[in-house]
Amino acid sequence: MYAILDIETTGGKFNEEGITEIAIHKFDGHEIVDSFISLINPEKEIQPFVVNLTGINNKMLRTAPKFHEVAKRIVEITQDTVLVAHNAQFDYRILRTEFRRLGYNYERKTICTVDLSKVLLPDAESYSLGKLVRSLGIPVSDRHRANGDALATVKLFKLLLAKDSQKTILQDVIRKESHGELSEKQLDIVQSMPNETGVFYIHGKDGNIIYLSKSTDIKKRVNQLFTKTGERSRKLVKDTKKVTFEKTGSELIALLKEHQELLKNKPKYNTIPRKRMYSHTLCLKENELGYLELSVAPISKCSDKWGLFNGEFSAKNHLHKISREFTLCDKLNGISEARKNCANYEDNKCNGACIQKEAPEEYNVRVMEALNKYCLKNKNILLVDKGRELGENSAVLIKKGSLVGIGYYDLNHQINNIHILETLITPMNGTLNANFIIESFLRKKRVLKTIPLNI
């Protein structure tokens, strides 16, 4: 017996969502034998994008029953059944979270029609419910409402059962407890994690760190690890004794801590970073007319290196970016392969450097501004970012182009004195790999501010 369901939620932070609507159809493999459909008062506001998607608003739910009022009916209709849903991990997690708030441990076997469709319908263009059922000619009404989606899932599941001619795939897809259904202990671990940025550490039975990772949402990432279905993930879950964490506030600091602590601890379930994470750089040279030229080159073939990149493609993308941002010459930087004048010249957009209409001194200033913005070379700076709590900032100290350490300071504290600042800093290894991590982060994201230091 199957209980085919769909749930609509308020949206919001992971594991803090509330149910706004639920539809469950008890299905015996041939027809629906019982149904339960209801709006639910989540006792919290619905996110605006969810209102736009589902059409369910706060006003509609004011007189709807609360979850504890329908919990018994949900238990009864799903008793001795296998839960079936499209993306079952989501619906099952939401149900278990709601029951857990009531102090009840709700456990059922599950089947995910996404997983099943990937096996039985390998040529489908998309496995989203709407696109999949339309491609199969299955009619669907009230899309993004619980009952509409649940009925579409019933029809999809019926088709999939018919396609499972050997009747063996269902046995493989049904998730056992170690395949995505968290135990009480694991649920307690997940619940104790914060929805914040930092690094978490999974400890084995002897207390050693067997896995560590950075995340911008520690709780969500730990839950994902515990519900993965691969063999390696199952072994990790089995070996887990405890999970600890350290908030960093700043994603950059989390990246740096993750890298250095992976090298120090070498956890058995992690992939250890490569000895050298970068391979290419921007190479700077002056041509015979005095203009500075940039080119992408392997690290080993460049004497004046500006920036570290993990491949030629990444370096070329950055060169294109700074050429546009600082109006640099495509011809001088090798972006344009024109023999004489580049396309920008033909379009009357050229700054003139490539045909010597702009003095080398003027043009070269822009080149150096472009390089200095994203490169740590020779810099003495403080990168300031979010702290672990209100009223606090994080700091990454760079001296002579190399990482010195990380730290935190109160917003009311003046940090213009380098000697005071250094007392707040926890030392870190200033390697080229650390520089690569910092430069890659700065190219993609912004820290709150960069403060030049007089040293």
In this prediction, residue 158 carries a pLDDT of: 85
Rounded alpha-carbon distances, angstroms, from residue 265 to 209, 250, 260, 272, 417: 7, 22, 9, 10, 34
Q: Is pLDDT above 80 for 55?
A: yes
Nearest to 113 by CA among 177, 161, 80, 179: 161
Q: Please give the torsion angle defined by the CA atoms of residues 129, 131, 134 and 140, in that order, rounded to the nearest 10 degrees.
A: 40
pLDDT in tens, 259-285: 999 998 899 999 888 889 999 999 999
Strands annotated E in 225-348 = 242-247, 280-286, 292-298, 305-309
pLDDT in tens, 70-115: 999 999 999 989 999 998 888 999 999 999 999 998 988 888 999 8
Q: 3-state DSSP call for residue 337?
A: coil
Rg of the chain, C-alpha, whole Å? 28
Nearest to 160 by CA among 113, 126, 122: 113
Task: Considering only the C-alpha atoms of the chain, give the largest distance between any 2 of them, rounded to a whole number of Å.
Answer: 85
CB 40 within 8 A of CB 62: no
What are the beta bridge partners of residue 9? 19
Model confidence, pTM: 0.65
% pLDDT > 90, the chain: 44
Q: What region does 401 belong to: left with phi over 0, alpha with psi -120 to 50, or beta?
A: left
Nearest to 97 by CA among 105, 86, 88, 87: 105
Other C-beta atoms within 10 Å of 81: how many?
19
Q: 3-state DSSP call for residue 109?
A: strand
* 116: confidence class by pLDDT, cuts 50, 70, 90: confident
pLDDT in tens, 192-240: 899 999 999 999 888 889 999 999 999 999 988 887 777 888 889 889 9
Average pLDDT, whole number, for the chain? 85
